[in-house]
Amino acid sequence: MPYLFTSESVSEGHPDKVADQISDALIDNFLAFDPDAKVACETLVTTGQVVLAGEVKSNTYLDVQKIARDTINKIGYTKGEYMFDGNSCGVFSAIHEQSEDINRGVDRATKDEQGAGDQGMMFGYATRETNNYMPLALDISHLILKELAALRHENKDITYLRPDSKSQVTIEYSDDNTPQRIYSIVISTQHDEFGEEQAMLEKIRADIKSILIPRVIEKVPDHIKPLFNDAIIYHINPTGKFVIGGPHGDTGLTGRKIIVDTYGGKGAHGGGAFSGKDPSKVDRSAAYATRHIAKNLVAAGLCDEVLVQVSYAIGVVEPMGIFIDTYGTCPFNLTDGEIAQKVTDLFDMRPAAIEKRLKLRQPMYSETAAYGHMGRTNEIVTKTFQQPDGETITLDVELFTWEKLDYVDKVKTAFGL
């Protein structure tokens, strides 16, 4: 019997994502000038106010207020009527030095023997149902909001959009787990006050269907286009009005959108957030490493879907163990336990090895803080950073290294594929 599965996404202007982007902007600025920096930075945003808190061990100094304000303005919170804008909001910093009790478990005499920055378990997932090996419902949810943000920044075809928005997509699957159609799409977008409530709502709903959705359909692969049909149930701004939003409408905190950040509810999640953490925190680095493993296993043809788990103890170099679940999709005479053993031999999961393999000491994190950390495009970009004294540094930064398929041949060799 067919079944339904749903995933959601939130925009760059959602208050929790504003917080994530500020935290990751701080990470990038620290790493640009001090690649060995240890940072765990949390952000809270609310009406007219930003609060920064966390622990840092670094030899560089940053103007954290300017970084926060620049991030907020870039997102699009630039008007006083939003009750939260980058030029006028207060920015309070309670960032202090990292605890030596934590740091002693991480730093070692040699870099290779670096211990895990915390205990916990991390999961990576991949599936063959999309070209980027991501769950389809989440992929479309992200794309809807990327295009909505593009329309807002263009300020041409739709001129009343404000930064805060959410999406949700429900896919109908057949018994053999094949997507059949999009069952429903939910979109809530913040907007200006531009008329009588019912007239505003009708205008927004018409524009979303006639302007946004065609742009989304144009961007999806050809084999996904038929899933969009006239039978889709749309819920667009279902409350009827969404003028008050962003940090004025709802307080935002770093790390509250971890399912949006990963796999939209598919697979599993260990519970640790990513944004605001340098790569010595395995919550972040090992989650990227397990995604890298999962994607390469599926791309190599070992299975159609896979979940990879790794776990750590704080200050301990070697992981506690690696778990593999192929959901019965491995066509070869291999158990999940046998696959896990070969993966353990193939991928060095010590924290320092992960940092080196995925080049995680680059200022590469601002781009991860909205529209998902997984399934993104691996590319090299040029970034410029500035310190308070005016010193600038320009770097070529490789983004989303965990999305590379650089281990496919090694996987095929290891498994005799």
pLDDT tens-digit series, residues 41-77: 999 999 999 999 999 999 999 999 999 999 999 999 9
Report DSSP state, residue 227. G
The SS3 assignment for 176 reads coil
pTM confidence score: 0.95
Residues making up the annotated binding site for L-methionine are 55, 98, 250, 281
Domain 16-105 has CATH 3.40.50.720: no
* Structure tokens that stand for 228 in this block: 């969009």
Residues making up the annotated binding site for ATP are 14, 164-166, 241-242, 250, 256-257, 273, 277
> Which position has the token pair 């902007």?
25
1 pLDDT band, cuts 50/70/90, is confident
Residues making up the annotated binding site for K(+) are 42
**What residues does each domain of the chain span?**
3-9+135-245, 16-105, 120-128+260-415
pLDDT at 407: 98
Write the CATH number of the domain with boundaries 3-9+135-245: 3.30.300.10
Write the CATH number of the domain with boundaries 120-128+260-415: 3.30.300.10
The SS3 assignment for 234 reads strand
Instruction: Decide if 16-105 and 120-128+260-415 have a common fold.
Output: yes
pLDDT at 101: 53
Query: Distance between CA 19 and CA 365 in Å, rounded?
Result: 13
Residues making up the annotated binding site for Mg(2+) are 16
The lowest-confidence range among 90-104, 122-136, 233-247, 397-411 is 90-104
Residues making up the annotated binding site are 14, 16, 42, 55, 98, 164-166, 241-242, 250, 256-257, 273, 277, 281
* Structure tokens that stand for 278 in this block: 């340098």
Query: Distance between CA 212 and CA 238 in Å, rounded?
Result: 17
Residue 265 burial (CB < 10 Å; 0-12/13-18/19+)?
Answer: middle
